[in-house]
Structure 1
Amino acid sequence: ISFLMEHEKYSYVEALRWLAARYNVEIEETETSPEFKQQQQVADSLYIINNFAQKFFSDHLFNTEEGRDIGLSYLKERGFREDIIKKFQIGFNPEAREGFTKAALANQFSLEYLQKSGLVNVRDGNAYDNYRGRIIFPVHNQSGKVMGFGARIIKSNDKAPKYINTPENEIYVKSKILYGSYFARQAIDKADECLLVEGYTDVVSLHQAGIENVVASGGTALTPDQLRLIKKYTNNLTIIYDGDNAGIKAALRGLDLALEESLNVKLVLIPDKEDPDSYVNKVGTMAFNEFIRTNKKDVILFQLDIALKDAGNDSNKKSIVVNQVAETISRINKAEDFTKQQDYIKQCAEILKIEESGLHALVNKFIREKVSKEEFRSNREQRLEEEAGSGMHDMPADAETLALFNKDEIHEQAMIRSLLEFGHKQWNEELKVAEYIFKEMDENHLEELIDNRELVRIYQTYKAWYEAGIEPTARNFLYHDDLKMSSLVVSIMDFNYEISPNWKEHFDGHIATRDELFAEEVFSTLNYLKLRKIKRLMDENQRDLEKATSAEDQLMLVQTHQHLKQMEIELTRQLGTVIFR
């Protein structure tokens, strides 16, 4: 097992299963659910079908007149030798509508699984070959089993796709696959470098030229699973793509993920509108290897160079470039990559002609933001798990988190906080703060404006207690049987803003506290709700104005708008708020 894990880069489980299959030993899986067993059975069936299909396609390529005349001649015109064709088990699906389908059904394969494998389609109750008339590239897993296929069209047909790939199923998950990895794994380990190209033929051509440490992504952005597969063999990734704009964009996709995996990423762009397949056939193995060796570009510095050319002399665009490169560098954030990160900051600051300390601060800002997001996501998932276990749901987040999702929430909470903290204070000679708030809320119908209905429940509960002769405070809610309500009150009262004691060193005289400024706080929170009501009335009035047909209705609605606007101006004047529209 240790030999296989070291030599083949298998995990322990993969090595164990390989040995069991090699020597026909049955492995007893423990604690497997019925669902897992069913999934495993489907996977085994798909592997068996794919193995049959691979042999069928290879046999038709070499041993039928149609295969030799069409498929094999096409591959040889592309420069592929028979030994490399056989190594990659490339085949040919005949033009006959049901050639493979009939053979598979005759061998008792399930039509359901044939469809799931993508080899067969069914239309109007009739089953037929999905890959007919195409060259077939089998896709192998790390132990050499065929997971799926890529089928390339031979004849020119504008309506048909150039490639058809296996649909995702129990064994074929595109985001976890790199074409050619089974054949390249030992060469990558030996060279301590993985060459990444775009297509099937690029891989096959380079292997034929003796360059075997190469895999293909299929032209899609690299995924974390694909990058981890590369990292099993090496930390050095060289991306080799076409030199046109599409090739450059494709090469840069997934860059940040590669940096997060601590991969050393270089980029080589093939010149003269060539691709790796055509270029290696044009210049030969030695010249190709020399070109790769001498034309590797650091992918971050290359990305920066391209972005600066696009930005030109536009200051705003340059500012965006600075942020983009800072965010990219922030992905290099593992302890062992500290020196690499500092080198990038130094080099990029010189290219951008900005202070190194400024770029360093910006990189750290992105790192902090990422950590905060991860902590928030982790805490949220933990909280949801706890709620699911305790039967509690929709527990409130703290004020800062709520502000992210609902900008009005913090103002609604401020009104409830004022009621809980200052409700028993005297507002004027006749009313206490709580009575003033009740009066304003009732007269202006403000309760309906509070979007968080849990806050409405706290308000209504407080009001009922107050009218029953109780003098409620936040403490009454802390011991309430309703856990959602008590938790929300804790969140509301967790108000962390206070005047720093250092102000006394720089400011003479008395500094008013929140307790002394309670009237201003109560007034502003109620006025904020009033402003929201006016805004909603103005929006409704505007919609009515757009629908109005008679001059009389239009005049009335315009006058209503002017009246509401005047009320808004007066309220914002009292609050010291500026209206921007």
Structure 2
Amino acid sequence: MIDRETVDRIYAAANIVEIIGEYVTLKRKGVNYQACCPFHNEKTPSFVVSPSKGLYKCFGCGKGGNAVTFIMEHEGVSYPEALKMVAKRYGIEVKERELTEEEQHRNDDRESMFALNGWAADYFASYLAHDAEGMSVGMTYFRQKRGMTDATIRKFGLGFCPSKGDRMSKDALAAGYKREFLLSTGLSLARESDGSLYDRFRDRVIFPVHNISGRIVAFGGRTLRTDKNVAKYQNSPESEIYSKKRELYGLYFAKKAIQQKDCAILVEGYFDVISMHQAGVENVVASSGTSLTTEQIRLVGRFTKNITVIYDGDAAGIHAAIRGIDMILAEGLNVRVVLLPPEDDPDTFAHRLGAAGVEEYIRTNEQDFLSFKARLLMDRAEGDPIRKAALVGDMVQSIARIPDPIQRSVYIKECARTMDVDETILVSEVARKRMASTGDRETDEFVRRQTARQRAEQAAEPAVEFKRQVEAGSSPEALERELAKYLLKYGHCSFDFKEGRTMVSCNVAEVIFNELDSDNLVFGNRLCNELLNTYRTQWQTLGTGTEVPAHWFLNHPDPEVCNLAVDLLTSDDNYVPSVIWKRKDIHIETEAEMLAVGVPKAVTLYKSKVIERLIAEQQARLADATLSEEEQQRILRMLSKLNGMKVTISKKLQRLIL
């Protein structure tokens, strides 16, 4: 692990303008720099670099961070690797602290597993290329049956495992690799009879699985037998270095092409990826060995916000496409679907058409998810109101998963037009679905917007849009973010709060910490809690009323904490009052007045949410029929106390709102 002193030297030396300037063309604008964002496709620059604060922020896609996290995001490397890249640029020697015995042991085990997998990949590739069995069985299959060139076989490290049941295991042991790692990587299995090892992938062609940085974390093996009792594919088990839900086959080879084309093509299997690459279409990945997962979608999201899903045109492919759509939408990515002709899969399709043909087919046949679902299911619903209602419900379910409100609005309009349904009904249905699944208060927000628009039209003057603040229905996590934002932006500020008939001067940080500490409350969100703890440490050192420097958060050793800090510090919680307001001499709330309302309200709302959760937990426990009478009485006393606290907080909250 890199010691903190070295990390601080790296951050001190890093010139964010120089580093980001190597990837994009920055143009000075005032004290900052601007560019088109390298993480999403845009024509108008919304990517801002602040040399004074040492941060970047894209106001289009929302990405933000410091020089190190930019390298992580752009290069797809880990935090330590990004630190080392920056250190190398500025000639800083990286010193790593000595790990604890437990950490060292875990790291040693992981490195041993990586080393063994590297050896095994070379072993399988060599056996395929040089051994008589490998050449006659495996190489013949790849070349003649699958049409793979030797260059493609080498690029993806394809191989063959000997048919003799334990040959690879014995060769690995002879090469000095330990039995425990042969078992933990899943390359070998142990016989129940005598514990001897045998090869998991015996008599199979081999597909090494690379992680995002190119290290081999697992293998897939395909049998060439026609015996239906033998599984067609065998994959490495979960291990210390491999989680199948977090890996995408081919991403290591595809990430640059994905960034260049700003789109990832998602297919199903190993051969689909390999054939597309061989045909010249390289922005292709597959979720081999598992159904598409949220973690895999987020992995793609590091490189692009656009996914084109290509599945077989049969029933299974259509079902898989429908399932994947909602998951991709829920992560805020744009998804389009391409169904191939029934006689094709991506493997045969790529061989038949080549790069130009595949790209042309995608351009002319890809559909957005709404059109895809409508065309797929409309025939079944023709003339049947019940089926049409079910189809509309299915579309609403998908639209409700989209986190971006503008995108949701566009798709609602399109769905209303396509299905000939009243748009207002769709809005309320989407809002109801979101409220049920995420607690989103979109219905209230929709009504508020409509009312504001009507009033604006009646007055024939532009309405002022306020940024929605936390409300009684806000989630605990939203309230934690709000409190963390108050700390980072206004923790050193003071405001006057009316306590009875007396005006009391309060410090923002002091109010938040005292209120949380009085009930021993800890934030549930890890990142918000880390920000809270970092601020508390510096606040206690510097003293009440002293501003905590932003670099403690922007250069935080946890990149995720850094990114959250950038989001909170660059979020705009004010509005620009119009000339009309000034002309009409309408009072504009000062910062102190905003804090006097916002801080107590946010803390009280948060306490209210915590108490509601505790009450729900105790009520759930009370429903347990196995509880003793003594335990029931204890829970009832606890509920009585919590309900009393709830009443007190409700009264306080009512006063704050009024």
The normalised TM-score by structure 1 is 0.65
Distance 1:186 1:399, change over 3 A: closer
Alignment of 1:113-124 (within 5 A): 113-123=181-191, 124=193
Residue 187 (structure 1) aligned with residue 257 (structure 2): yes
Residue 342 (structure 1) aligned with residue 446 (structure 2): no
CA contact (8 A) 1:220 1:250 kept: no
CA contact (8 A) 2:245 2:295 kept: yes
Q: In the aligned structure 1, how far is the partner of 2:649 from the partner of 2:260?
A: 60
Q: C-alpha deviations, 1:70-96, integer Å up to 9, x for none?
A: 110110011000011001111111111
Q: Using CA pairs under 8 Å that are at least 6 residues apart, name the structure with larger relative contact order, 1 or 2.
A: 2
Distance 1:354 1:219, change over 3 A: farther
Q: Which amino acid aligns with 2:303?
A: Y
Q: Which amino acid aligns with 1:137?
A: F
Distance 1:16 1:398, change over 3 A: closer
* Aligned partner of residue 108 in structure 1, secondary structure: coil
CA contact (8 A) 1:8 1:185 kept: no
The answer for the alignment partner of 2:641 in structure 1 is 487
Distance 1:185 1:372, change over 3 A: same
The answer for the alignment partner of 1:95 in structure 2 is 163
> RMSD value over aligned CA atoms?
4.0
Residue 177 (structure 1) aligned with residue 247 (structure 2): yes
Residue 199 (structure 1) aligned with residue 375 (structure 2): no
1:290 shift after superposition: 0.9
1:170 shift after superposition: 0.8
The answer for the alignment partner of 1:556 in structure 2 is none
CA contact (8 A) 2:615 2:639 kept: no
CA contact (8 A) 1:242 1:269 kept: yes
Distance 1:453 1:271, change over 3 A: farther
> Which stretch has the larger CA shift, 51-60 or 377-386?
377-386
Q: In the aligned structure 2, how far is the partner of 1:143 from the partner of 1:20?
A: 19
Q: C-alpha deviations, 1:237-296, integer Å up to 9, x for none?
A: 101110001001112223223112221101111103210111111223322221111100
> Which stretch has the larger CA shift, 486-495 or 230-239?
486-495
Q: C-alpha deviations, 1:512-566, integer Å up to 9, x for none?
A: xxxxxxxxxxxxxxxxxxxxxxxxxxxxxxxxxxxxxxxxxxxxxxxxxxxxxxx
* Aligned partner of residue 208 in structure 2, secondary structure: strand
The answer for the alignment partner of 1:143 in structure 2 is 213
Identity, % of aligned positions:
35
Distance 1:93 1:485, change over 3 A: closer
Distance 1:242 1:106, change over 3 A: same
Distance 1:158 1:485, change over 3 A: closer
Q: In the aligned structure 1, how far is the partner of 2:74 from the partner of 2:478?
A: 41
The answer for the alignment partner of 2:361 in structure 1 is 291
The answer for the alignment partner of 1:351 in structure 2 is 418
The answer for the alignment partner of 2:223 in structure 1 is 153
* Aligned partner of residue 310 in structure 2, secondary structure: strand
CA contact (8 A) 1:8 1:186 kept: no
* Aligned partner of residue 274 in structure 1, secondary structure: coil
Distance 1:230 1:48, change over 3 A: same
CA contact (8 A) 1:450 1:456 kept: no
Q: In the aligned structure 2, how far is the partner of 1:315 from the partner of 1:453?
A: 55
1:231 shift after superposition: 1.3
* Aligned partner of residue 95 in structure 1, secondary structure: coil
The answer for the alignment partner of 1:431 in structure 2 is none
Q: Which amino acid aligns with 1:350?
A: R
Q: In the aligned structure 1, how far is the partner of 2:625 from the partner of 2:269?
A: 58
Q: Which amino acid aligns with 1:341?
A: R
Residue 13 (structure 1) aligned with residue 189 (structure 2): no
Q: In the aligned structure 2, how far is the partner of 1:190 from the partner of 1:50?
A: 31
Q: In the aligned structure 2, how far is the partner of 1:146 from the partner of 1:387?
A: 38
1:321 shift after superposition: 3.1
1:483 shift after superposition: 6.3
Residue 57 (structure 1) aligned with residue 124 (structure 2): yes
Q: Which amino acid aligns with 2:274?
A: V
CA contact (8 A) 2:110 2:241 kept: yes
1:235 shift after superposition: 1.1
Q: In the aligned structure 2, how far is the partner of 1:60 from the partner of 1:222?
A: 32
Q: In the aligned structure 2, how far is the partner of 1:147 from the partner of 1:399?
A: 42
Distance 1:455 1:156, change over 3 A: closer
Larger Rg: 1
Q: C-alpha deviations, 1:421-472, integer Å up to 9, x for none?
A: xxxxxxxxxxxxxxxxxxxxxxxxxxx99999689739xxxxxxxxxxxxxx
1:185 shift after superposition: 0.7
The answer for the alignment partner of 2:198 in structure 1 is 128
The answer for the alignment partner of 2:64 in structure 1 is none
Q: Which amino acid aligns with 1:287?
A: G
1:131 shift after superposition: 0.6
1:141 shift after superposition: 1.1
CA contact (8 A) 1:399 1:492 kept: no
CA contact (8 A) 2:254 2:282 kept: yes
Q: Which amino acid aligns with 1:232?
A: R
Q: In the aligned structure 2, how far is the partner of 1:170 from the partner of 1:182?
A: 20
Q: Which amino acid aligns with 1:68?
A: M
* Aligned partner of residue 303 in structure 1, secondary structure: helix
* Aligned partner of residue 439 in structure 2, secondary structure: helix
> Which stretch has the larger CA shift, 307-316 or 127-136?
307-316
Q: Which amino acid aligns with 1:152?
A: R
